[in-house]
């Protein structure tokens, strides 16, 4: 298996030229987020990724966690790696320094999380959920809950989890059966949860579970769900750990990939009941949990980028070393396969998809920073609308692309890609869960259409379209008229599709919904093409005398606009009749 080293210059460029790091550093509380500091942080993080996390990739796959005497033991090397990870302060860079965080923008934290995920995806699932749980408690926890848990979670001394799914309640969270019985100011939790990443492990002394359950007497369905904080060990008033709570890991799931991540079946309340405390309002659990879910959806979308970058590096290295056939341009025999036109096409596609995902993830993360910190309430509100609109796009679009890039990596390897020893198959196996968890990508598409587009009558989408058109005018004036023109066609198509989907949803929600995935794909492609063009427009200035770096970024943008954007624009032809045809097939074969 090949190694990994973060593409630091590409990351820094995307943060600064696309996400707008300089503007983020002007926001209250982010004044220290200067390019030199972020660059130094990325460099140090890459050292940890290369030397400590990369070796875990194969170990976790071949030596997965085990349950011993009711305790999950993580894969060899995991505990030492986690110790180095938290000692470096990498668990909470985006959080307030008052609770031990690093005070960095979420955009910069997203960049750090990208390279950790590329190094070893299974390892980073625990910290990803912990960051989401911290975000949730900051937004909805009581002052007592914040004082009790946040500093230990930010430091990484304790981890956090998300407990939604049950055997009979997957995406339909309202069908859950876990119950909460009132016991004074606390509750006794009884039920079983499945697919709980890092539900138990030996990395920390305590695990803080965020558990959805229904209080006795609450309404049926999603309106009767509440959220509880349920620690593995109860916490005394002085902050020390007390008795073991009534919860346990029943078993570990045997999965297609991400073997190093302990995915637990968790049982709550086999005895008197696991003690938990209400977070947020009674029956308001799903609203509170959405804070954590949206954080996780950005993180899961980022996983698509992480696996794509790892796959791209592996495919590029293999294609340069593997010799076979004749170079069609020079006639050289036994030439590196990287010279063959179809391999060039695959590698170019992998690179363009990866750089587009990076631009999308970082730009959306920057809107998260603005939505929370901008002094102007109107700016905060607009950034929040754009964030809400694009979170499902990041999650679905990037995870789908991650699987495709990982699959192309196998194809570049040829027969060797199908052999486990190369590691290409593992990257593909690990990537496949991402389009499923945190809401399947079909659910993300329905969220974009039914909740985001329809809810505000297309207002947020119209704001995004205006923003893109303004930037394209700047690109055209800077001499990139070919890119501006090509992306402009896509923006026009997205505007027309948005209007038609709004009308179609009002007349026939089922037909519009059958095309929701196509609409999300169009959105993702157009926004990605715009962001690549935005970067290409400023790259020569940003890169200074590095002409090769600038030329490469411009070439990638032109490839994306010429090759990958047009098929998405063509989706507008099937948003209407194609969706109705899908419904007709379903009806005919029922």
Instruction: Tell me if residue 275 falls in helix, strand or coil.
Output: strand
Element (H, E) at 386: helix 377-413
Phi/psi at 533 (5° precision): -65, -40
Residue 412, Cα to own-chain centre: how many angstroms? 26
Sign of CA dihedral 371, 376, 381, 383: negative
Element (H, E) at 313: helix 285-321
Instruction: Tell me if residue 100 falls in helix, strand or coil.
Output: coil
> Both tokens of residue 306?
């992480």
321 is catalytic: no
Helix ranges (H only) for 14-89 are 21-24, 35-48, 54-62, 78-87
Catalytic annotation, pick one of 16, 114, 438, 521: 438
The candidate with the shortest Cα–Cα distance to 4, out of 48, 37, 40, is: 48
Contact (CB, 8 A) for 47 and 3: no
The candidate with the shortest Cα–Cα distance to 515, out of 438, 429, 564, 573, is: 573
Q: What is the DSSP string of 396-418?
A: HHHHHHHHHHHHHHHHHHGGGGG
Sign of CA dihedral 405, 408, 412, 417: positive
Helix ranges (H only) for 414-515 are 424-431, 441-446, 459-477, 481-507, 509-514
The candidate with the shortest Cα–Cα distance to 114, out of 10, 262, 258, 257, is: 10
List 241's β-bridge partners, or say none.
235
DSSP state of 75: P
Query: What's the start-to-end Cα distance of the chain, in Å?
Result: 46
CA atoms of 41 and 104, how far apart (whole Å)? 10
> Both tokens of residue 543?
């890169």
The residues carrying an active-site annotation are: 438
């Amino acid at each position: 298996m090949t190694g990994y080293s973060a593409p630091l210059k590409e990351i820094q460029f995307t943060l600064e030229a696309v996400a707008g790091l300089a503007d983020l550093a002007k926001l209250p509380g982010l004044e220290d987020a200067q390019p030199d500091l972020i660059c130094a942080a990325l460099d140090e993080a890459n050292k940890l990724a290369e030397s400590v996390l990369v070796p875990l990739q194969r170990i976790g796959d071949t030596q997965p966690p085990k349950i011993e005497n009711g305790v999950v033991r993580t894969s060899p090397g995991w505990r030492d790696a986690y110790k180095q990870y938290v000692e470096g302060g990498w668990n909470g860079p985006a959080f307030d320094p008052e609770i031990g965080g690093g005070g960095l923008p979420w955009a910069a934290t997203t960049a750090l999380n990208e390279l950790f995920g590329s190094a070893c995806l299974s390892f980073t699932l625990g910290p990803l959920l912990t960051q989401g749980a911290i975000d949730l408690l900051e937004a909805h926890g009581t002052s007592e809950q914040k004082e009790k848990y946040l500093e230990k979670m930010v430091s990484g001394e304790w981890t956090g989890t998300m407990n939604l799914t049950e055997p009979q309640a997957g995406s339909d969270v309202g069908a859950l059966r876990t119950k909460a019985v009132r016991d004074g100011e606390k509750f006794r939790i009884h039920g079983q949860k499945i697919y709980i990443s890092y539900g138990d492990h030996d990395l920390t002394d305590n695990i803080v579970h965020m558990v959805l359950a229904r209080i006795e007497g609450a309404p049926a369905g999603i309106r009767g769900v509440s959220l509880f904080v349920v620690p593995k060990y109860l916490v005394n008033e002085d902050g020390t750990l007390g008795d073991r709570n009534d919860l346990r890991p029943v078993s570990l799931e045997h999965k297609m990939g991400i073997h190093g991540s302990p995915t637990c079946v968790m049982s709550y309340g086999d005895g008197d009941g696991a003690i938990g405390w209400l977070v947020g309002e009674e029956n308001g659990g799903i609203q509170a949990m959405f804070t954590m879910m949206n954080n996780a959806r950005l993180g899961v979308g980022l996983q698509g980028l992480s696996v794509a970058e790892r796959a791209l590096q592996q495919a590029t290295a293999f294609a340069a070393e593997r010799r076979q056939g004749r170079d069609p341009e020079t006639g050289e025999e036994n030439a590196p396969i990287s010279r063959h036109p179809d391999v060039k096409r695959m590698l170019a596609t992998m690179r363009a998809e990866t750089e587009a995902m990076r631009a999308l993830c970082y730009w959306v993360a920057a809107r998260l920073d603005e939505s929370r910190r901008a002094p102007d309430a109107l700016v905060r509100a607009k950034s929040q609308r754009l964030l809400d609109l694009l979170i499902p796009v990041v999650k679905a679009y990037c995870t789908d692309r991650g699987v495709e890039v990982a699959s192309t990596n196998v194809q570049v390897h040829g027969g060797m890609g199908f052999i486990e020893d190369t590691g290409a198959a593992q990257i593909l196996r690990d990537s496949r869960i991402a389009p499923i968890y945190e809401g399947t990508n079909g659910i993300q598409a329905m969220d974009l259409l039914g909740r985001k587009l329809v809810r505000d009558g297309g207002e947020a989408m119209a704001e995004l379209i205006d923003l893109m058109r303004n930037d394209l005018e700047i690109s055209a004036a800077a001499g990139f008229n070919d890119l501006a023109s090509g992306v402009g066609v896509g923006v026009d198509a997205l505007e027309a599709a948005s209007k038609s989907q709004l009308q179609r949803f009002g007349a026939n929600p089922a037909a519009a919904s059958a095309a929701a995935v196509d609409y999300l794909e169009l959105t993702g492609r157009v926004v990605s093409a715009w962001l690549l063009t935005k970067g290409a427009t400023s790259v020569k200035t940003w890169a200074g005398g590095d002409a090769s770096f600038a030329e490469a970024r411009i070439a990638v943008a032109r490839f994306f606009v010429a090759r990958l954007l047009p098929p998405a624009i063509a989706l507008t032809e099937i948003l209407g009749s194609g969706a109705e045809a899908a419904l007709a097939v379903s009806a005919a074969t029922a």
